[in-house]
């Protein structure tokens, strides 16, 4: 098998996998000559060692089962994408949450894992017309046995409403992923405004109005944003990182802002 030719979707089709509960990551990895071994790990969440045509993936047996699945799929991504070039990778929980931007092996492995565990053709029917909130994310997580970050990204990419996911630390924005239908004139601020739920969570306060409507200018830089509102749902995912889902139930607001720009 020429591993490099296998995209996640091609792998699933080749193996005849058609439903979320059939995505057996250990069996898929084995098909790709990679053996997954759950084991107690210190200082990392997962690692992979490649020797010739075989790879051995170790995932931390103490972590949540959904996290172990993502870890295994992420390591398999390293194997499938960088096979021949790589000898080993050691990856941390931080890689899985932080590395969703730029072009580097960690981001590519995260993308591979998201596409394998949450494939478009299975995901879309479950996301159709659902609100873009972490409540929806949790429902989909339990169906696909996946982690919050990856599932949230897929909801933004494949859900029915225009949405953006932003990851912030106290120092400001770390990364963002925008739905395909978000116009260019909508640019996310470098840091959320002080009336947002994300701001409260980043500064150790308990957010009371989560999820809810926020003034759009607290999130985006458009000069007329203060006349509009935006749905925000934020959660803390690590000690210092907060994920925020921003979305528009009424697409007209987005179109209005785009037209304003054209005038």
Minimum gap (Å) between residue 95 Cβ and Zn ion: 5
Closer to Zn ion by CB, 110 or 229: give it.
110
SS3 187: coil
Count of chain residues binding Zn ion (CB under 5 A): 4
Looking at the Cβ atoms of 103 and 194, the one nearer to Zn ion is 103
CB closer to Zn ion, 58 vs 136: 58
34 interacts with Zn ion by CB under 5 A: no
- DSSP summary character for residue 191: S
Nearer CB in complex with Zn ion: 98/197? 98
| CA–CA distances in Å: residue 166 to residues 44, 110, 115, 163 | 25, 16, 19, 10
Only segment of 33-41, 81-89, 147-155, 243-251 that touches Zn ion (CB under 5 A) = 81-89
The reply on whether position 91 binds Zn ion by CB under 5 A is: yes
Q: Based on CB atoms, which residue is closest to Zn ion, 89 or 144?
A: 89
Smallest gap from Cβ 75 to Zn ion, in A, equals 7
Minimum distance between the CB of residue 46 and Zn ion, rounded to whole angstroms? Answer: 7
Helices and strands per DSSP (H, E), number in the chain: 10, 9
For Zn ion, the closer CB: 109 or 257 = 109
Contact set for Zn ion, span 113-142 (CB under 5 A): none
Q: Which stretch binds Zn ion (CB under 5 A): 28-36, 104-112, 142-150, 244-252?
A: 104-112
For residue 220, the 8-state DSSP code is B
DSSP string, 42-103: SS-SEEEEEETTEEEEEEETTS-HHHHHHHHHHHHHHHHHHTTT-SEEEE-HHHHHH--SSS
Residue pair 216/229 in contact by the 8 Å Cβ criterion: yes
The stretch among 101-109, 163-171, 173-181, 254-262 that binds Zn ion (CB under 5 A) is 101-109
Helix axes 120-127, 148-158, angle to 10 degrees: 80
Helix (H) or strand (E) holding 148: helix 148-158
Residue range at the interface with Zn ion (CB under 5 A); choices 17-25, 90-98, 160-168, 202-210 = 90-98
SS3 169: strand
Using rule CB under 5 A, residue 109 touches Zn ion: yes
- For Zn ion, the binding residues (CB under 5 A) are 89, 91, 106, 109
């Amino acid at each position: 098998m020429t591993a490099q030719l296998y995209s996640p979707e091609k792998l699933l089709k080749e193996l005849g996998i058609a439903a979320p509960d059939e995505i057996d990551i250990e069996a898929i990895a084995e098909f790709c000559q990679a053996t997954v071994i759950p084991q107690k790990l210190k200082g990392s969440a997962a690692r992979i060692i490649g020797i010739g045509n075989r790879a051995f993936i170790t995932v931390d047996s103490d972590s949540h089962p959904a996290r172990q699945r993502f870890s295994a799929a992420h390591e398999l991504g390293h194997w499938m994408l960088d096979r021949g070039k790589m000898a080993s990778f050691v990856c941390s929980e931080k890689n899985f949450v932080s590395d969703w931007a730029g072009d580097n092996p960690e981001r590519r492995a995260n993308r591979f894992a998201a596409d394998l565990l949450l494939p478009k053709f299975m995901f879309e029917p479950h996301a159709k017309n659902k609100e873009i909130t972490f409540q929806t994310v949790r429902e989909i997580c339990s169906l696909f046995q996946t982690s919050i970050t990856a599932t949230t990204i897929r909801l933004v990419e494949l859900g029915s409403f225009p949405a953006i996911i932003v990851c912030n630390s106290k120092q400001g924005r770390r990364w963002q992923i925008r739905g395909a239908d978000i116009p260019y004139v909508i640019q996310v601020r470098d840091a959320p405004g002080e009336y947002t739920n994300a701001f409260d969570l980043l500064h150790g306060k308990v957010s009371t109005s989560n999820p809810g409507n926020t003034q759009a200018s607290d999130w985006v830089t458009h000069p007329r944003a203060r006349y509009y509102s935006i749905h925000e749902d934020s959660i803390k995912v690590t000690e210092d990182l907060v994920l925020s889902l921003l979305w528009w139930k009424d697409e007209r607001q987005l179109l209005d802002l785009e037209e304003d720009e054209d005038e």
